[in-house]
Amino acid sequence: MQELIDDILKGLNDEQKQAVTETEGYVRVVAGAGSGKTKVLTTRYVYIAKVLGVAPSHILSVTFTNKAAKEMKKRIQRFMPDEDGGWILTFHGACNKILKEEIHRLHYPSNFLIMDEDDQKSLLKKIYEENGLTLKDHSYKSCLDAIGAYKGRHDYVCYFSDPSFQTVAPGLPRAEEKGRLDFVIKKYLELQRKNFFLDFDDLVFFTLKIFYDFDDAREKWQRQFEYIQVDEFQDVSRPEYTLVEMLSLLNKNLFVVGDPDQTIYTWRGADIGLFLGFDKAFGGVKTIVLGKNYRSTPEILSVGNSLIKHNTERIKKDLVAVRKSGVRTKYHHARTRQEECEYIASEILRLKDSGVPLNDIAVLYRSNYMSRPVEDAFLKYGIPYTIYSGVEFYQRKEIKDAIAYLRIFEFGDDLSFSRIVNVPARGIGKKRLAAIDALAENENVSLLQAFRRLADTALFRNTDAKKLVDTVEEGIVRAKDPDVDISDLLDFALKKSGYEEYLMLCGDQNRLENVTELKAAIKDFVDDAGEHVTLAEYLTAVALISNIDKSGDEQSVKLMTVHTAKGLEFPCVFVCSMNEGLFPSQKIENKQQMEEERRVAYVAFTRAKDRLYLSDSDGFDVQTRGRLMPSRFIFNIDESLIDREGVMTDEYVEMAKEYIRASEYALSHPSVPDFRAYLGGERVRHPIFGDGTVTGKNNGAYVVKFDSGNVRTIAADSGVLKNI
């Protein structure tokens, strides 16, 4: 046994060994950037299975991305070749797997359809079209934010699961005021219920509902998961936290790993306080700090440590570099944005000439729009690049279209029908679509069922409606074959529907290649599974994919936002546009948000392994509508740790520092109350315009839609708005 233990623990440092062998009770591991947390998680999984002898099916290991889950499974199979890692999943993947067994308790079918964000927007588009709404009323983003806020505050699952709820979900008005956000939420929930759709939030909330309402279900899964470990715990939301807390109550073995200094997703529901307060929430918590960094040189790490120590919401630690000394960090100040980006381009060419491959280089920025001047410079200097913030593979139109055909065979759902009904064009225009909608509404049937009834009528004469019906009918029959090959089924759908011919006629080779790549992806998925995969299982897996690995051109510089880069590492990293109003963003409104911006910068710095470059520029910026000044994060770094290039006058530096001092004071002393997000916003009263609802914020002002119908932008510091 000792020989086995030594083999498993081989290559771990003392802190990592302590984390791996601390198997019982509540354990919090503070894992700094590059400290080997994935190695700890996978080794601990193997240790529990091989040394303690616990069946892998009783170990729940939650990650935040499918890519991370796949990497964990791959590493575990080195020790356990036959282990499929069935419970190494994302939160949404784990909830989906539980719901497949338990959702019948809520009178919901087990073959529910999971919506991604594109599906959600399609649902909103349908609501807008049917009710005369436009994006001027509410953006899709504001609607999705409001829907998420609603679901986080109301026990809405009963509306889906309780047959006695025939009218409207709790907390929503019965009267139909079409201009209000809560009306959109109401219609969204109605369409969800009718079609048995679940979005990502629902996967967690439905699981919690079952655990709250059915003791036997909760106890079953508590017994199932004797050991639970959660990666990236600093990014968990309150509902996700509640879920793992509930599951761990019986065996009390909960192991969480994370780094509060890398909490950069509070806008997505992450709550840094859950990690910081973990030791107070549970009794007898053991805290282990992984403080050795294996990624970056001491010079890079010292810059990150110097920056992040200015935050107060953190667990104090200084990462120590294991690597030998390397190149000092460079900070370049340019006169203009163009000069800044040309400096980056020229430095990259210098690195290339010295033997550094282009695919070892990444340029990071705070927001997507900041890539444009970088791209201009790269085009000028002939530097190949790949943008990693473009449309993801599974979100591309032709891929969504192709998968919609598979979904209609399995689910017969309205979203898929709406997507394929006239793509390629079949002569089914607005008038005919309206007839389908009307019949579906009147008869309370799906759009596909209504279409079947109408396809042979005079209204659809001289269209390809009958051909589409025949394609779908044959596809449904083929999909029911227990031995169906999903790749062959897709091939049938694309050919029989005319979609493949349509792409050929469009002459877009890239789109054809993407569809071919989808077929290859299906084959890879089935091969990885190692067993027969049903169409429903494949579609569920695709719905849970948030992003695929992008290979891109191996000999190209990577361009991406810092958020996209989280979890990645590169030998050489350029962090550009480090100006006030850009990085940190001009949208920051309080001290807590500024600390998160600083964490974003910290994440950017710690992506670098060998070389780190920081840059900014002077001049006027159209985004901030003011003079560009160096980021406060540059001033946060000890001057002795970076080599500075470019000229800044003493007057300019003092002006920048004075601006930052004033900004810091304003962030710490907010003079105007921050209105709470309540569905579409807080109800307020204006002395002239009367009562209204706050619908958003814009450059330090509140956008208010007044009951009179007028929309006004009211300065936040005016003090004229009062809560009602």
Residues marked active site are found at 37-38, 231-232, 262, 607
Q: Which helix (H) or strand (E) holds 193?
A: helix 181-195
Closest of 668, 595, 584, 593 to residue 634, by C-alpha = 584
How many Cβ atoms are within 10 Å of 435's Cβ, its own excluded?
17
Would you say 470 and 455 are in contact if contact means Cβ atoms under 8 Å apart?
no
Phi-psi region of 412 (alpha: psi -120 to 50; beta: other; left: phi over 0): left
The Cα 114–Cα 197 span in angstroms is: 6
Alpha carbon of 48 to those of 6, 9, 43: distances in Å? 14, 12, 9
Question: Any bridge partners for residue 320, and if so which?
Answer: 292
- Terminus-to-terminus CA distance in the chain, angstroms? 69
Closest of 120, 117, 107, 116 to residue 164, by C-alpha = 107
In our burial notation (b when 16+ CB lie closer than 10 A, e otherwise), range 378-388 reads beeeebebbbb
Q: How many residues does the chain have?
A: 724
CA 475, chain centre distance (Å): 33
Would you say 608 and 293 are in contact if contact means Cβ atoms under 8 Å apart?
no
Give the 3-state DSSP-derived string for 206-274, with helices as H, strands as E and coil as C.
HHHHHHHHCHHHHHHHHHHCCEEEECCHHHCCHHHHHHHHHHCCCCCCEEEEECHHHCCCHHHCCCHHH
Would you say 34 and 262 are in contact if contact means Cβ atoms under 8 Å apart?
no
Q: Which helix (H) or strand (E) holds 487?
A: helix 486-496
